[in-house]
Amino acid sequence: MLTRAQVALSMLLLVGLVVATAQPDKPKPPSATVKSVVRVPTGVVAIASLNVAEVWDHKAFGQIREARGKLEFAWAVQSLIGVTPADTEQLTVFWPTIAPDAPFVLVTGRKAVDATAVAKTLTRPGATLPRPVPGGKILVAPGADFAYIYPVDARTILLAPQAVGPTRIETIAGLLPGLATVGRDHTLTVGLDAKILAGLPLPFGGPLVEFETAILTADLGVENAFATLTANYPTADKAKTATPILRAKVDELAAWAKEQEKQAEKRQPGGNAYPAPLLDWIATTLKATKVETNGSTVVAKTEIKLEEAVSRVMNAIPDAALVPPRGSSVTENNLKQIGLAILNYESTYGHCPGNSYDKDGKPLLSWRVHILPYIEQTNLYTQFKLDEPWDSPNNKGLSEIVVKVYQVQGRPAGQPSDTYFRSFIGPKNVKGDYRPWLIEGDSKGPKIVQITDGTSNTVSVVEAGEAVPWTKPEDLPYDGIQALPKLGGPNGSFSVAFGDGSVRTFRRNSLNDTTLRGMITISGGEVLSLPK
């Protein structure tokens, strides 16, 4: 599973790709895109390098550079790597072989980089030291995604993730000479060793993923942009077999984007959906991609007109796509309405709402259906057949209606009507100390008097990592033993409604597993100290 840092950096590099392919201020001949052979360095399974200075100074980037109130891009970058885009020359993210699940970041500034100032910028208030640091030049930023800062030279720092111990950083720093030339000749370079794919649940396989390495480069052109993906296979026969499969996959994605575009034009506003213009651009770009075989390599090339692409991307980014100020987001306000509805339901029925079941114990409808009258949706509630499951002919159509209170701002889901707001649910035989908010097979949620841990410390609803149809009775399983589920989105934050109706947003790395488990149980007897 990708970490928050991996996803955040992927987003940063994706924006770089979009901008890197936009029309430049000064013409550059297409021949300039062919400069040197790019290879995945020894000791690295994946690497991505972006010429930030070239991108940041580009006129096409102005919309993102000057954005206010929607996507504070400069702030987002600085909060992640400690240096502003305006002060950055090159950004290289790599996954070393000895720690393939942990991204490292190499930041080269346009001028000298003060590592001490970077550590201060990245430190989160109230956070504790992740691991003891032995003597040396490694600096620490408690609470940061990249908690260790290793000064390489006057203009370059290496950022190491919190999950990796400081004792391994100097070993990994030994890889830096091999990384120096990667990305030197291109605006964006991404390299992948096939080893990193091992064990990942990919939506495709077979001959297509039998490559040894894959390299993506993107460069500025005169009017257009030029992006090239080169997959290197062990033999020419394997490359020849993979070529039509790659072509088919590209066409399949283009068709999917086109179909999603049609659906987006029909959807109700305000749902979890990407806008049609962006989907149209994706479909057109993919369809224009040329795929061919060259010996033991498969090459995919595309020439892209993207002067308007930045505008489309910006328009596709919802408000507060990054962590919003506490208490001011639409997400938190929606959760407050849900929390209040749960309390009003409990006041009426003597217990909080639960999922409903038929006489044989088969799940029917989610608790979200049963609080509809308490969020000003009585008319919608009366249309449900309460003795039928959520996907019955009658109820399935109702489940596709967007209920704005169940939306998470800035996080499009698979379907516009889907929701990330879910509760924790325990099996019928869950031990009392580990009992979460809901119990399988029980249509009644807890009574307030049962929440002996205190309603202000007990989670009733949480922003989950995965969305579900809002009518579907599918909550997050918890029995005190199994691993905790993923919460929140790529920015690492998630919002919570507590049993007393209060709402807070947390950064996942600010809560250790023990504290989070204590928040989930209603009567575990834990003494909690939640972050400020």
Can you give the pLDDT at residue 224? 67
Lowest mean pLDDT among 147-156, 226-235, 317-326: 317-326
Opening angle at CA 278, ends 276 and 280, nearest 5: 70
Q: Which two tokens stand for residue 226?
A: 């030029």
Cβ–Cβ < 8 Å for 30, 186: no
Mean pLDDT score, 26-53 = 65
Mean pLDDT score, 291-307 = 83
Q: How far apart are CA 166 and CA 138, in angstroms?
A: 8
Q: Confidence band (pLDDT; 50, 70, 90) for 26?
A: very low
Q: Confidence band (pLDDT; 50, 70, 90) for 134?
A: low
- Number of Cα atoms under 13 Å in the Cβ half of residue 389: 11
Strand order across the 418-422 sheet: 418-422, 459-469, 493-498, 503-507
Q: How far apart are CA 75 and CA 516, in angstroms?
A: 28
Torsion of CA 323, 325, 331, 337, to 10 degrees: 160
Q: How far apart are CA 240 and CA 236, in angstroms?
A: 6
Cβ–Cβ < 8 Å for 240, 207: no
Lowest mean pLDDT among 69-78, 88-97, 518-527: 69-78
Q: Determine the 3-state secondary structure of 356 from DSSP.
A: coil
Lowest mean pLDDT among 57-71, 82-96, 310-324, 440-454: 310-324
Can you give the pLDDT at residue 490? 67
Tell me which residue has tokens 């996959």.
249
Cβ–Cβ < 8 Å for 20, 217: no
Secondary structure of 162-194 as H, E, C letters: CCCCHHHHHHHHCCHHHHCCCCCCCCEEEEEEH
13: pLDDT strictly greater than 50: no
For the ranges 248-257, 381-390, 522-531, the one whose mean pLDDT is highest: 381-390
Lowest mean pLDDT among 71-85, 217-231, 518-532: 71-85
Can you give the pLDDT at residue 423? 97
206: pLDDT strictly greater than 60: yes
Does residue 135 or residue 425 have the better pLDDT? 425
Q: Confidence band (pLDDT; 50, 70, 90) for 529?
A: confident
Q: How far apart are CA 529 and CA 142, in angstroms?
A: 18
Mean pLDDT score, 166-194 = 81
Can you give the pLDDT at residue 338? 96
Mean pLDDT score, 62-89 = 68
Cβ–Cβ < 8 Å for 364, 473: yes
Q: Confidence band (pLDDT; 50, 70, 90) for 37?
A: low
Cβ–Cβ < 8 Å for 191, 45: no
Can you give the pLDDT at residue 463? 94
Lowest mean pLDDT among 76-85, 110-119, 462-471: 76-85
Q: What is the pLDDT of residues 434-474, one digit of tens each?
A: 999 999 999 999 999 999 999 999 999 999 989 999 999 99
Cβ–Cβ < 8 Å for 521, 433: yes
Mean pLDDT score, 295-307 = 80
Can you give the pLDDT at residue 16? 39
Mean pLDDT score, 300-319 = 64
70: pLDDT strictly greater than 60: no
Can you give the pLDDT at residue 269? 54
Can you give the pLDDT at residue 66? 56
Q: Confidence band (pLDDT; 50, 70, 90) for 265?
A: low
Average pLDDT, whole number, for the chain?
A: 80
327: pLDDT strictly greater than 70: no
Mean pLDDT score, 193-220 = 75
Can you give the pLDDT at residue 263? 76
For the ranges 49-63, 262-276, 426-440, the one whose mean pLDDT is highest: 426-440
Cβ–Cβ < 8 Å for 43, 175: yes
For residue 422, give the H/E element and its range. strand 418-422
Q: Please report, rounded to a whole number, the percentage of residues in the chain having pLDDT higher than 70.
A: 76
Cβ–Cβ < 8 Å for 4, 508: yes
Mean pLDDT score, 488-495 = 79
360: pLDDT strictly greater than 60: yes
Mean pLDDT score, 5-24 = 38
- Number of Cα atoms under 13 Å in the Cβ half of residue 430: 26
Q: Confidence band (pLDDT; 50, 70, 90) for 420?
A: very high
Per-residue burial over 136-171, b if 16 or more Cβ lie within 10 Å, else e, is eebbbbbbbbbbbbbbbeeebbbbbbbbbebeebee
Can you give the pLDDT at residue 80? 80
Q: How far apart are CA 50 and CA 16, in angstroms?
A: 7
Can you give the pLDDT at residue 6? 40
Q: Confidence band (pLDDT; 50, 70, 90) for 21?
A: very low
Q: Which two tokens stand for residue 230?
A: 């080169």
Does residue 306 or residue 524 have the better pLDDT? 524
Can you give the pLDDT at residue 438? 96
Can you give the pLDDT at residue 109? 93
Mean pLDDT score, 150-167 = 85
DSSP string, 10-45: HHHHHHHHHHHTSPPSS---GGGG--S---PPTTEE
- Ranges of each domain in the chain: 4-316, 330-520
For residue 118, give the H/E element and its range. helix 115-122
Can you give the pLDDT at residue 270? 52
End-to-end CA distance of the chain: 28
**Alpha-carbon distances, residue 434 vs 356, 431, 452, 512, 517 (angstroms):** 22, 5, 12, 17, 9
For 400, residues 6+ apart whose C-beta sits below 8 A from its C-beta are 415, 417
Q: How far apart are CA 331 and CA 257, in angstroms?
A: 27
Q: Are strands 476-477 and 424-426 parallel, antiparallel or unpaired?
A: parallel
How many helices (H) and strands (E) in the chain?
A: 15, 18
24: pLDDT strictly greater than 60: no
Question: How far is CA 104 from its chain centroid?
Answer: 18
Can you give the pLDDT at residue 445? 95
Can you give the pLDDT at residue 198? 65
- The model's pTM: 0.54
**Alpha-carbon distances, residue 272 vs 155, 179, 397, 471 (angstroms):** 42, 40, 17, 15
Opening angle at CA 258, ends 30 and 411, nearest 5: 95
Lowest mean pLDDT among 85-89, 347-351, 356-360: 85-89
Torsion of CA 157, 166, 94, 75, to 10 degrees: -50
**Alpha-carbon distances, residue 466 vs 197, 488, 500 (angstroms):** 22, 8, 25
Can you give the pLDDT at residue 34? 41
